[in-house]
Amino acid sequence: MREKFEKSKADGAHHIINSLVGEWEGITKTWFEAGKLADESPIKGKIKSLLHGRFVMHEYSGSLEGKPFEGIAIYGYSYEWEKFQCAWVDSFHMGSSTMLAEGNNIDKGFSVTGTYGSTKMEQQWGWRTELEVINEDQIIITADNISPEGEEAKALETIYRRKNNPNFLFNKNFLSDFNKILLIKYKRHGSKTNSRRVSCSNTVFDYERCARTNQIYARCI
């Protein structure tokens, strides 16, 4: 059994979840109705290893409609059941309940699905969470609401970058969203590059767009 676990840590499912370990920051979007964005705000998180890499714990905090919230998700992989598994609590979304979810790997990550409800609800709703590893310094966590009839609608999207990475290449979609809420200074340097300074979760950094490649580079300052 130990050999199977060590192999999983080296190049399998446990390697994926342990690659998430570190401190993260970014933005999170929330939808309460399909296609109608309700909130967009900064978020910060920390993912740490548990029980020698068998699990990881994601602790995060942010705000929703101007009110603070926080949550914890524990991710793991059961090679007995060959499933990714998750236990999730959240001060806004989950009330005093715990959601248990499980699922399979997807391209560059994994997907887990659980249910939620109450004694006042005739039927339970589904909740699918997908975590996609874009690269070692960027991850995207997406959650979809699933009605009892099977209709799906995006509910959450968190775009994370690894905190304090001295040289980070931005995804264009991340930069677009980032600019909307965090841009504080702009100045032009000649005709070849544009340099900006932004602040995110108390971390300040410069980034530049190369006119030739149209890529975005950033460094913490």
pLDDT in tens, 138-185: 999 999 999 999 999 999 999 999 987 654 444 445 455 444 444 433
* Residue 165 confidence (pLDDT): 67
Contact 161, 26 (CB under 8 A): yes
Q: Is the Cβ–Cβ distance between 161 and 141 less than 8 Å?
A: no
Distances (CA, A) of 107 to 16, 96, 166, 186: 11, 33, 27, 37
* Average pLDDT estimate for 31-57: 94
pTM over the 0.85 mark: no
* Whole-angstrom distance, CA of residue 39 vs CA of residue 55: 30
Give the N- to C-terminal CA distance of the chain in Å, as an integer: 46
Assess whether pLDDT exceeds 90 at residue 95.
no
Percent share of the chain, pLDDT over 70: 74
* Helix H or strand E encompassing 149: none
Structural domains present in the chain: 2-162 (2.40.128.20), 168-220 (no CATH)
